[in-house]
Structure 1
Amino acid sequence: MTTSTATTQTAPNDDTTPSPSANLPPPSDPYTSALASLQQNGFVILPATLFPTFDLPTLRDAATHLTHLARTSQWPYLRTLPKQFPPWPSDPSNGIWGVQHLLHPSNPHAATFAKSYFDPELLKYAQVLIGCEEEELVMELYNMLVRPDAAFALRWHRDDIPASASAEEELERLVKKEAFHAQWNLALYEDESLVVVPGSHRRARTEEERSADPFEDDMPGQLVVRLKAGEVVFYDNNILHRGVYDPDKERMTLHGSVGSCKKGAGKERARNVLQHGVGSWVGEVDFRKWVGGEIGERAERMRERLVRLGRESGEVGFFSKDE
């Protein structure tokens, strides 16, 4: 497999960086450079230098403790082996590969994770990549991908389009797709678990891709996304991708998404968020107390939009309940 050749973005000049509530920036700045990379390749890697407020040692300590709780049946919100998609059982006896609900009010480290999720610079990038105003941002998911207890891999998939879709159905969904959310991985340690086919978010699968084994280890054109600690990769969730997880290598990667309440988001977006069960506890959170200040106020507004999404969407079901 080849290594990632994506060009990382440079830090914006402090004198010209727009505030989170400003209109979308001009094409010459690093935010829209990131957008251009995302649109062309389906992913963009941002260097750690863009996010100086990320406190990696504190995040690692919090992640280590919560992962220990998860592996020892003291935290019930898990991604358990060998299941790939929600819902997951709460029994870790077969091993885990993820920890769910980092912002849950019963998580002793929720405030630490909230500061990274609602980081102003991260949200600036999310806003541009979605193409929305700050007041349209919606809190979605914050989970963690961890070292599995046994070798484990996800099948090739797109998050919003089932493998059973015809080429015509795929193309119709992809060419008409407006961005209603942004999805990212923040690596707390070096991570090379995400494998993508660059550009596949803009086209239907080829016949070779369609007929390939779901766990094909050498898909034509595939690329391993290699992250250093502190780096962030934003990626289109309909890029053809999979995860390949090494049980012998430490992994703690924060896996988040934020959405937009722009008209047209549809029930598919609600399903991808609410199928994880976030609606059962989001009403109990008060980010004003956890984070405080302007960040806490912005977080509360985003949380309230998620509550409204759940109220308006009703029963949403699951993407692939039995896998």
Structure 2
Amino acid sequence: MPTSTLRSQLEKDGFVVLRSILNPEQVQQLRDAAERTLSLATSGSWPHVRTVGKQFPPWTWSPGVGIWGVQHLLNPALPDSKIFAASYFSDEILGVAKELLGPCCCGDDELVMELYNLLVRPSDGADFELRWHRDDIPASASAEEELERLDEPAWHAQWNLALCDGDESLIVVPGSHARARTERERSADPFEPDMPNQLIVRLNAGDVVFYNNNILHRGRYDGSRERLSLHGSVGHVAGGRLRARNVLQHGLGSWVDSCDFSSLDEKQRSRAEGMRARLVKLGRESGDVGYSLTG
């Protein structure tokens, strides 16, 4: 898809889907790493998880609690972090991200390392749903407050990269990233199963959806259907404190200084070190950022 088409579709709809962005060998390598990582998390050997029953950070794992996500795939303490780093800093992902960030983003030196996590089917086998939300605008916001925030540049690219066929967890309302909620949306049940104009994003292994994180969206996790989806984001240096809370609320500061990108090729390593350094700088300048949403 031509660059201008990608960007115009994101601006119009708030999301864009690319098919088969990875080849089968790349998908299999990442799927194997994801399965090993999930095994660590469900056994309690990797405590950085998203727990069933809680939508937003912070999360605290305890034995017997189901999980729907695994955090911090770039943390060097994770055995497969090198495989995930090669994916996160790849041309396949960041090439698209730079196009979507627009003509103002002309090189790697404007990118900021952000989040890379794994979304999975609930480990307790039960269905789990996330309520309708925008990632950085509370449901209590007035229409005026919503528009004020939505009128600001996004300064990020966020994506879900499916490693399994039949991924239908993400549900969006196309175009809602560019307007305040309607009265129907504002008064709807938080878990409304049939929001007007909603669209289920359907992905197969190797497909990716990039989306504005302030599009009105929710997640639906089917406990009977396998899911392994890499959930990442990358920022632009111009985002500053606007992006800081979105990212730093997830606790990257405890390990980002110890990242080791020596396994990457020269191009990726230079890109990764620069992006990490800009994240560290953002953290030092931002201080305590709190949490975007609660619950």
Counterpart contact for 2:240–2:282, Cα < 8 Å: no
Provide the residue aligned with 2:259 in structure 1.
285
Residue 231 (structure 1) aligned with residue 207 (structure 2): yes
Provide the residue aligned with 2:41 in structure 1.
70
Instruction: Identify which of 241, 250, 274 aligns with 1:276.
Output: 250
Provide the residue aligned with 2:289 in structure 1.
316
Residue 197 (structure 1) aligned with residue 173 (structure 2): yes
The one-letter amino acid paired with 2:284 is R
Provide the residue aligned with 2:106 in structure 1.
133
Residue 80 (structure 1) aligned with residue 55 (structure 2): no
The Cα offsets for residues 275-306 of structure 1, whole Å up to 9 and x where unpaired, read as: 0001110000121x121311111111111111
In 2, Cα distance between the equivalents of 1:53 and 1:293?
24
Residue 260 (structure 1) aligned with residue 232 (structure 2): no
In 2, Cα distance between the equivalents of 1:54 and 1:240?
34
Counterpart contact for 1:63–1:252, Cα < 8 Å: yes
Provide the residue aligned with 1:110 in structure 2.
81
How big is the alpha-carbon RMSD for the aligned residues of Structure 1 and Structure 2? 1.3
Provide the residue aligned with 1:250 in structure 2.
226
In 2, Cα distance between the equivalents of 1:63 and 1:280?
22
Provide the residue aligned with 1:121 in structure 2.
92
Cα drift, residue 47 of structure 1:
1.2
Secondary structure at the aligned position of 1:243 is classed as strand
Cα drift, residue 41 of structure 1:
0.7
Moved more, 116-125 or 247-256: 116-125
In 2, Cα distance between the equivalents of 1:67 and 1:314?
32
Cα drift, residue 128 of structure 1:
1.6
In 2, Cα distance between the equivalents of 1:233 and 1:79?
21
Cα drift, residue 268 of structure 1:
3.6
User: TM-score, normalised on structure 1?
Assistant: 0.87
Q: Which runs of 5+ in 1 are unaligned?
A: 1-8, 10-29
Instruction: Identify which of 149, 157, 165 aligns with 1:182.
Output: 157
Residue 296 (structure 1) aligned with residue 276 (structure 2): no
Cα drift, residue 54 of structure 1:
6.8
In 2, Cα distance between the equivalents of 1:216 and 1:98?
22
The Cα offsets for residues 178-212 of structure 1, whole Å up to 9 and x where unpaired, read as: 13110000000021000000011111100000000
Provide the residue aligned with 2:146 in structure 1.
170
Secondary structure at the aligned position of 1:93 is classed as coil
Instruction: Identify which of 7, 25, 37 aligns with 2:9.
Output: 37
The one-letter amino acid paired with 1:80 is T
In 1, Cα distance between the equivalents of 2:288 and 2:129?
29
Kindly indicate whether structure 1 or structure 2 has the higher relative contact order, using CA contacts under 8 Å at least 6 residues apart: 2
Counterpart contact for 1:99–1:143, Cα < 8 Å: yes
Counterpart contact for 1:60–1:188, Cα < 8 Å: yes
User: TM-score, normalised on structure 2?
Assistant: 0.95
In 2, Cα distance between the equivalents of 1:125 and 1:299?
16
Provide the residue aligned with 1:15 in structure 2.
none
In 1, Cα distance between the equivalents of 2:24 and 2:247?
27
In 2, Cα distance between the equivalents of 1:297 and 1:225?
34
Q: Which runs of 5+ in 2 are unaligned?
A: none
Cα drift, residue 53 of structure 1:
9.1
Q: Identity over the aligned pairs, expressed in percent?
A: 61
Counterpart contact for 2:157–2:212, Cα < 8 Å: yes
Provide the residue aligned with 1:24 in structure 2.
none
Secondary structure at the aligned position of 1:63 is classed as helix
The one-letter amino acid paired with 2:96 is Y
